[in-house]
Amino acid sequence: MTCSGIGYDVHRLVADRPLVLGGVEIPHPLGLDGHSDADVLCHAIADALLGAAGEPDIGHLFPNTDQSIRGISSLEILRRVRALLASKSAAIHNIDSTLIAEEPKMSPHLALMKERIGAALELPPQRIGIKATTNESMGFLGRGEGIAALATATLDRP
Ligand code: MG
């Protein structure tokens, strides 16, 4: 059967952390805080895939109390999710996603993000959508306190 899933994630922007989105380190004075590299885009995509596959969410599979995954690249999380899905004979059709950030400008980095996420998921970049928008200066995202991401995934599974 064909199944879809949704994912959402948000992390706080802080000083002295690299900003990693879609597996790409983006030059910016602030980075996202978290147990892993805090890549909200990869985390939202992981949850969308896990939801479509009927699996528990990313916080269940990769708990922030697990010291063995401290600082883990979220591309590695996507690789592990892909392997889990493959073990359940799930075949990913496509991903779509939206980054919500007041800054920096995402458009120069989207092609590389698609390439890296595609490599982690063994999916052609053409089947990965990444869009970016601001929050029109409203609320915590609009004040630049954090970055959020939304994602959907569609896959076939037995
Ligand atoms: Mg997260």
What is the CA(137)–ligand 1 centre distance, in A?
22
Instruction: Give the residue extent of every domain in the chain.
Output: 2-59+69-156
Whole-angstrom Cα distance, residue 151 to residue 108? Answer: 20
Digit-coded pLDDT (tens) for 65-110: 888 888 899 999 999 999 999 999 999 999 999 999 999 999 999 9
Q: What is the pLDDT of residue 61?
A: 92
Q: What is the pLDDT of residue 64?
A: 86
Please name every residue paired with 3 in a beta bridge, in sequence order, or none if there are none.
Answer: 155
Assigned fold of 2-59+69-156 = 60s Ribosomal Protein L30; Chain: A; (3.30.1330)
Confidence of residue 117 (pLDDT cuts 50, 70, 90): very high
What is the CA(74)–ligand 1 centre distance, in A?
9
Alpha helices in the chain (DSSP H): 40-52, 58-61, 74-87, 110-121, 139-142
Q: What is the overall mean pLDDT for the chain? A: 97
What is the CA(90)–ligand 1 centre distance, in A?
23
| Number of other residues whose CB lies within 10 A of the CB of residue 70 | 10
Q: What is the pLDDT of residue 138?
A: 97
What is the CA(39)–ligand 1 centre distance, in A?
7
What is the CA(10)–ligand 1 centre distance, in A?
6
What is the CA(11)–ligand 1 centre distance, in A?
6
Q: What is the pLDDT of residue 69?
A: 86
What is the CA(95)–ligand 1 centre distance, in A?
17
User: Percent of the chain having pLDDT more than 70?
Assistant: 100
- Residue 144 pLDDT exceeds 90: yes
Whole-angstrom Cα distance, residue 71 to residue 77? Answer: 11
Q: Is 33 helix (H, G, I), strand (E, B) or coil?
A: coil
Digit-coded pLDDT (tens) for 10-21: 999 999 999 999
What is the CA(62)–ligand 1 centre distance, in A?
10
What is the CA(54)–ligand 1 centre distance, in A?
19
